[in-house]
A = this chain, B = another copy of it.
Amino acid sequence: MVDQHQPGTSALSVLRPFTETDLQSLAARAYARIREAIVAGSLAPGQRISERGLAAALDISAQPVREALRRLEVEGMVETRPRSGTYVADLGRDRLFEIGLIRATLEAVSARLAAERATAADHAAMRARLEAIAGAMRSEDAAAVTLANEALHDAIHAAAASRDVTRLLEGLRAYDHLTRERILSTAEERATALAEHQAIVDAIIAGEPQAAEAAMKAHALRSLSVALP
């Protein structure tokens, strides 16, 4: 059964769908804004931030701000001392390195599960992402390569089909932008990463969980050592 309401095939496709942020809750949007500010450094580590102050700055009530801060607290980006104040957490090199370690092992689990569960469609998707990376490399566009790499990782997560692994990695994603900047900056590094990605995908498609896990872990750890020398 083909979905008759597929966008792009109907005459109603002139109507753009609502953008993501339009129908998100205020709390979710506040979370995103505050997180961006922390990652960008606008809110410095150790700085004291208050619910009411953020609420006034965002021109909303204090309650959704409070929810956003609670979520940021669970993800380790802010700390709250009861009845006292909320402070943005430290994001020093050691902390980022630890998070990188965690991320590496979670990515490895993702690759392992993908090798166990990937369908033919998943295989095709991953191969397409690899092609996209190679194409982006030929165009010498470092940013495009980074985007393509993230797309490949997303495809692997989709193949792993594990809500929990995806959820935890999503919680660590905020920290990525702090480390992924200097990575893939050289052509040599990009070539190495492509080879590693190739090996990972090969292991997944071959259905070898152990190999996929090991390959992904080695890749993530090596990337980490490049990003945070």
Contacts and interface: CB of A to CB of B under 8 A. Distances in A.
Number of copies: 2
Contact of A106 (B102, B113, B163): B102
A78 to B, nearest CB: 13
B76 A74 contact: no
Interface string A157-184: 0000011110110010000000000000
B108 A25 contact: no
B109 A105 contact: yes
A82 interface: yes
A14 B167 CA distance: 47
A76 B162 CA distance: 12
A140 to B, nearest CB: 36
A99 interface: yes
Contact of A109 (B70, B74, B82, B101): B101
A51 interface: no
A96 B223 CA distance: 30
Interface in A148-163: 162-163
A67 interface: yes
Contact of A102 (B71, B168, B171): B168
Contact of A113 (B66, B98, B164): B98
Interface of A: 23, 25, 63, 66-67, 70-71, 74-76, 82, 95, 98-99, 101-102, 105-106, 108-109, 112-113, 162-165, 167-168, 171
26 contacts: A23-B82, A25-B82, A63-B63, A67-B67, A67-B70, A70-B70, A70-B71, A71-B74, A74-B74, A74-B75, A74-B167, A74-B171, A76-B164, A95-B164, A98-B113, A98-B162, A98-B164, A101-B109, A101-B113, A102-B106, A102-B109, A102-B164, A102-B165, A105-B105, A105-B106, A168-B168
